[in-house]
Homo-oligomer: A and B are copies of this chain.
Amino acid sequence: MQTEKQSRDVFYVSDGTAITCETVGHVVLGQFPFYANEKTFPFVESEEKLTELLKHIEISFQANGIKPLVFFSLVIAEFREKLLQANAHCYDVLESIVQRVKDDIHMEPVPKLQRSRSVSKDTDTYFDRIAAIEYTLAHDDGISLKGLEQADIILLGVSRSGKTPTSLYMAMQFGLRVVNYPYIDDDIRGLKLLPEFEIYRHKLFGLTIAPERLTEIRQNRLAGSEYASTAQCQHELANVEALFRREAIPYINTTSLSVEEISTRVLEKTGLKRRLF
């Protein structure tokens, strides 16, 4: 089997944000060994935008001599048809699944413009999500330990173990109220659980990381500092992990995990429910 080329233009096209098309396309492309030159066309809801898109597709085809790939989702039938006539390989990211669900459950789909994440649909859900983000921001990095009764989870760990990005992702993506608290050098020896956390033990969750990785991350931030030294990283991690074990706080190692993977593993281990938006 022959490969056509080692690089290709890829378009993500939707009448909504195109985030679903990007998500699917990105994972699909991850299975093929070529470089993808990606471009997103969101909100293709007018003739003008469609014409603009078709022009770009044609330019890509003429310039490269091969068809670009298009991952799309378009509700308007006329737009779909015009797109399908372009010099491109087009993949509807939802259509085949919608058809199969329809056949399986004997229910007619009601296609709608991609407004699944629209505010107007559900104001309460929207407020919940914004409130989760605000709560999490106000409780980032030990800023405040007030209102812990509202927390869904309290993340503990040394500086640079992944607490802040994980907290924000869990708030944004899953609508959770996350507190995170760093163990810093001063209180690392003879580490004890803060009295504030005592009655919320069931919400505590620890993050740890390999000393080599922590050193690498801290060097990236403050090269050559004591803070970023291997000895310091090992020292802090050993003490914090001992605390987690002593106090029976569940914890995971974030070393080779992305923010999405850390968040998902925390949810899995705690049984916290995701709220999907």
- When distances are taken between beta carbons in the complex, the residues of chain B under 8 Å from A129 are 165, 259
**A34: interface (CB < 8 Å):** yes
A43-B114 contact given A20-B27, A137-B140, CB 8 Å threshold: no
The interface on chain A, measured as residues whose beta carbon lies within 8 A of the other chain's beta carbons, has a size of: 87
**A101: interface (CB < 8 Å):** yes
**Interface with B: A88-96, A147-155, A238-246, which one?**
A88-96
- When distances are taken between beta carbons in the complex, the residues of chain B under 8 Å from A93 are 24, 97
Enumerate chain A interface residues (CB-CB to B < 8 A): 1-4, 8, 16-20, 22-24, 26-28, 30-34, 38, 40, 42-43, 67, 69, 71, 73, 89, 91, 93-94, 96-98, 100-102, 104-112, 114, 116-120, 123, 126-127, 129-130, 133-134, 137, 140, 164-165, 168-169, 172-173, 216-217, 220, 255-261, 263-265, 267-268, 274, 276-277
Check A101 against B28 for contact (C-beta < 8 Å): yes
Check B264 against A19 for contact (C-beta < 8 Å): yes
Contact of A106 among B3, B18, B104, B118 (CB under 8 A): B3
Check A4 against B106 for contact (C-beta < 8 Å): yes
- When distances are taken between beta carbons in the complex, the residues of chain B under 8 Å from A16 are 261
Nearest-CB residue, chain B, relative to A254: B119
